[in-house]
Structure 1
Amino acid sequence: MDDFSKTAPILIGFQNNYFLPKGILYDEVEESSRITGVGENTLYLLTFCAEQFALVINTPIHFTQNYSELKNPIGILKVIAVGAFKAGSYGAQTIKQLDLFSNIIEVVFGKRSLNAFTHIGLAENIKKHGATNIILAGTVSSICIDSTVRTAVARGSNATILSDCTPRRTPFEQAFYCEKVSLLYARVCQSNTFIKYWRDHE
């Protein structure tokens, strides 16, 4: 772990389409989120540590009404294009639980791809606040989390993935990414381990 004043958690996909029963992609992560406690763990981390970080960033994904940004989408993007994450819609809204931290969380709009560093000036924002370490929480381990953390490392950041704050689509997928793939370029730990470290160094 490193200096919290140079650390920036990046929250990805904490939106109604994933986390509320009416959400189009709710079934993709519901079991994982419920068993692991993704929402609760993330909120618990913010309760204890948020004010110690250089900044906390929320990067919601939004698309225009006709998904003109997506050219011949395949895979998860094709699933999204049936109605998920339209700007201004219920499903695109950030989950209400994060309102408790609205005075701390900086919302960076403009994410329209899997990688949170694409198009939205995220790297410049992190640099402006002097953050050299990032923490990843959100959806989904094998998609947005993986693509974002790889870019963060390529840009020179130290990266930590919180395994109990990043839901997966299947148990195999989570185990494979957290125990095999992600460890090749990032730290992987649970949120309670991170909080323990913070308590020991406050």
Structure 2
Amino acid sequence: MDPSKTALILIGYQNDYFSPDGVLYSVIEASTKSNQVLENTVHLLSELVKTPTLMVATPIFFTPNYDELTEAVGILKTIKEVRAFQANTAGAATIEQLKPFEENILEVPGKRGFNAFINTNLDNILRKRGINHIMLAGAVASVCIDSTGRYAHERGYQVSILRDCLSARTIFEQEFYCDTIFPLYADVIDHNTLLENLLVPA
């Protein structure tokens, strides 16, 4: 695994999901705690900063009136109803645990739905940097992680999904997607195994 051609895509690491004060915290709380997602993510980042691996955050933001969600259904309807991820609010801000790595993480704005590639410049950024392998971490397994992973695979990227840096709506959902769905198009590994492979001298 060549770190210079690898990117970590961080999805949903915002207060409305991961802070106890977040309006959607309860949605992924059990899975986050069971998998020690935040602790594992911090450990992963602390090691990746020593490498040329590109680290990218793709936060989701909405205007105060949620004009972007004209006919929202499902989880996007819920986001609108509870007024989550509203731009320039504490809930939409990056979680404190990632603040020490701010200078090392490239923020790519524009995400409005499930797929981190849609309405963003993510694909162009990765192509220009010669990235051919992406790793996914964050929330939510069955929605943004799956949508982004499938799209990346179809665009020709090698995809790895970090099962212990991943939150889902339930522990069952997290295990089901990691064991049954993600392996259809991606490698599913824990972050320590990834680091072992990434840090092996060429």
Smaller-chain TM-score bracket: over 0.9
Partner of 2:189: 189
Partner of 1:30: 29
- 2: distance between equivalents of 1:16 and 1:106? 18
Partner of 1:72: 71
1:3 positional shift: 0.9
The C-alpha deviation readout for 1:36-85, integer Å capped at 9, x for no partner, is 11011011011112342441100100001111111221111111002100
Structure 1 moving runs of 4+ over 3 Å: 198-202
Deviates more, 1:117-126 or 1:42-51: 42-51
- Counterpart check, 1:43 vs 2:42: yes
- 1: distance between equivalents of 2:94 and 2:52? 21
- 2: distance between equivalents of 1:127 and 1:47? 25
- Counterpart check, 1:119 vs 2:119: yes
Contact 1:12 1:145 in 2 (8 A): yes
- Aligned CA RMSD, in angstroms, stands at 1.2
Give the TM-score normalised by the residue count of structure 1: 0.96
Secondary structure of 1:201 counterpart: coil
Partner of 1:12: 11
Amino acid in structure 1 at the alignment position of 2:51: Q
Q: Which runs of 5+ in 2 are unaligned?
A: none
1:1-202 alignment to 2 at 5 Å?
Answer: 2-82=1-81, 83-201=83-201
Amino acid in structure 2 at the alignment position of 1:14: Y
Q: Which runs of 5+ in 1 are unaligned?
A: none
Secondary structure of 2:57 counterpart: strand
- 2: distance between equivalents of 1:24 and 1:56? 26
Contact 2:117 2:123 in 1 (8 A): yes
- 1: distance between equivalents of 2:151 and 2:15? 26
Give the TM-score normalised by the residue count of structure 2: 0.96
Count of equivalent residues: 201
Contact 1:54 1:130 in 2 (8 A): no
1:172 positional shift: 1.8
1:199 positional shift: 4.1
- 2: distance between equivalents of 1:51 and 1:71? 43
- 2: distance between equivalents of 1:146 and 1:189? 15
- 1: distance between equivalents of 2:100 and 2:113? 27
Amino acid in structure 2 at the alignment position of 1:112: R
Contact 1:54 1:129 in 2 (8 A): no
Contact 1:136 1:160 in 2 (8 A): yes
Amino acid in structure 2 at the alignment position of 1:49: L
- 1: distance between equivalents of 2:44 and 2:171? 23
Contact 1:17 1:91 in 2 (8 A): yes
Amino acid in structure 1 at the alignment position of 2:93: Q
